[in-house]
Structure 1
């Protein structure tokens, strides 16, 4: 597997650490840097006893960006080393190797270091006639905490691991294409984020060269790390922002805010539907058995101990010859067997408002759906 050219790692030997680009991880360069015999070199990840050997090309396989690896190998035996003080020996699970003095500056002249930041030549080179643009991508490691930005908003905290540049042209000027380029190079799934750590999604605003040529900060991180820390599964769902402008700094935040808004609307609609069902149930319970409207000054009967109707309706019921309870049909006509339920005026008035609204909606539906009526004039 080819060694990727993005990012850097730290090489450690005898307490000395040096940051190097992944593209420079060749045994010949490492041998020159640490004054070791190239054929004996291998590395071990920090706090890990697993040995990693170079491939037939002299390069090391896929490594973790930002990780620290200890360099193992036998030093070069020359006249300078022969005249050096006695060496000490360091034991490892893979055998003992001698510790020699640090190499001088001349041993490091052919090795390029990532500080000050420069980008690999393979990424910076121009492609004739491509019309592409080199965009700086910042690789980050997300943290579980958060910080407050200049607009008093909570933004996930992160540590910058490294920088790189990607050549973007008209055929690859969208987040999914750039993610694919970075994923193919790093060997793991990468997602792009804006300065507030919102994922960049494919839409008309982010799929044009003007978006990538702007000065906005573009971050990149591991998809698995993002999902683990945020608890959200990244699907890369595209959002259509036909009216969005490509030079706005808040395009990505707006697209993600649109998704959150739609989720809130769905929850609100679900709540309203349940609320209306509950109101309909309450209205049915407080319906007068006589006039079929909301109870006004409700009367409770002693025979069934239920709401039997409005005060006016019950009085008319018995005034016009009724001898049974309007609810349970028990024989009762004495006024002492029923009493008025006080303190229900405001509640009855509130239910009447919902009943009227529901009735208006029913009337409009019946007018539109009645095939016998002519279509309304608009």
Structure 2
């Protein structure tokens, strides 16, 4: 076998060698984790390409392509009596009715990625954004404001079908004023490493350490919006089931996290559920354990997390002082099917003093089979 491989290399012609070099260069140039090229829009269009705030040229914003009514907004700019803040740097863009912005990305085929970007509502109410990397596409509801600054960071995931893909963000809304669309800023990407099940935990990513990119200079975490069950999740393999509400991915740099460096804050009460399906053996006993607490973000009050699995459930109450802390919850159940859906729901609606939504934190979730040697036999 080694001899044949050597013969193949020796007999490779110049054209084939050039092709191999090009392919290797393309693989090496796949985009790195972090801010996209001009992802914060600090590289400005030439003044000749601006009509007041409107961007006139399709390729006027460096590294981006636009269509429709797109504005280039400076920090502190006003729209009537409303001040338009910018979360990072000095500039952002605004998408008017049916406007879109897109960027070509070099990626690794077959790899899953998460996109994180910041959004602020302006004067429209029921705003939403259509995010696409073909063939994946989802409409993200952004009408709810979760931070006191007015800016929220959202995440969305896709699997690369090609080595070069196009990220498109489109405002499908129609309002009387085309300048009432959402403000966008700070686009970043992160390569997702598919979590694996272990002998000590049948849940994948039970500690939520694998998740979307969080901007280090922002203190409001990253929202994971509701997605269809067959979509890729930034919190893979956890799914967020809801109609319009999200959960918040929190980091230890800005929040109180029970275990490790990340956790999930259930900020939308009973309107969202955090769900994962696990392979189980009908009739076998299992134990689900998890941490329930608060994120240390000033969210004060009576909270509770309800956990469901098979026909069993448990409610874990937590009295939050808003300064961090947690307690462990335990649910013993017997599997009734080959697949068991593990569900976590916040049973209360909580707000901070500034009126923003908050809720209990879920972290360090584990599922084991309590039958003798059963966990080991599942992996044979």
Length-normalised TM-score, structure 2: 0.25
Task: Identify, as 1 or 2, the structure richer in helix.
Answer: 1
Length-normalised TM-score, structure 1: 0.25
The structure having more radius of gyration, on CA atoms, is 1
Task: Identify, as 1 or 2, the structure richer in strand.
Answer: 2
